[in-house]
Amino acid sequence: MVRLALRGLDADTVGELVAAVVDDDVPAGVVSVISAETDGNPLFVPEVVLHLLEEGSVGAGAEGPLEPGAELGIPEGVCEAVGRRLTRLSDDTNRLLAVASAFDAGFDLADAAAVSGLDDDASLDAIDDALAARWCVPARGSTAISSPTP
């Protein structure tokens, strides 16, 4: 068996990933902090950036420029970042996402809602919340929902 050591993304690539998630330029100092705090982990970077977007620390809604080295409130681990983002969602949205997470590539809203025990109105509200928070995206050319790809 051969073991390969995987390294995180370099700072420039982290900057590109951050810009793609934020859909805007982010100051180099902020990218540097995100890169250092995540070790360039390509799975962790988008979750941290989405967390910072939701807190208003980066992006168009940010309150003034962040100073390099400023406390960004970056969570210590992926589970914590994901947990913080999920706590901002309703119980119905969390139930729907929990069921949807069991599907491989995508899910049909009606099926996920039925398993979640949500009626039509509650499932539509839940999927609207999940889409707004970028937990999922509509699948192209289909009525299915899938995981987002940065």
In the chain, where are the structural domains located? 11-85, 89-146
- Give the model's pLDDT for residue 70: 59
Burial of 102 (C-beta count, 10 Å sphere; 0-12/13-18/19+)? exposed
Distance CA 79, CA 86 (A): 10
pLDDT digits (tens, 9 = 90+) for 17-54: 898 888 887 888 888 888 888 888 777 888 888 888 88
CA 58-60-65 angle, 5° bins: 55
| Cβ atoms < 10 Å from Cβ of 138 | 14
Residues present in the chain in total: 150
Q: Which CATH number applies to 89-146?
A: 1.10.10
Q: Which residue has the higher pLDDT, 117 or 140?
A: 117
Q: Which residue has the higher pLDDT, 66 or 107?
A: 107
Integer distance in angstroms from the first to the last C-alpha of the chain?
Answer: 32
Q: Which residues pair with 100 in a beta bridge?
A: none
- Give the model's pLDDT for residue 129: 95
DSSP-derived letter for residue 22 is: H
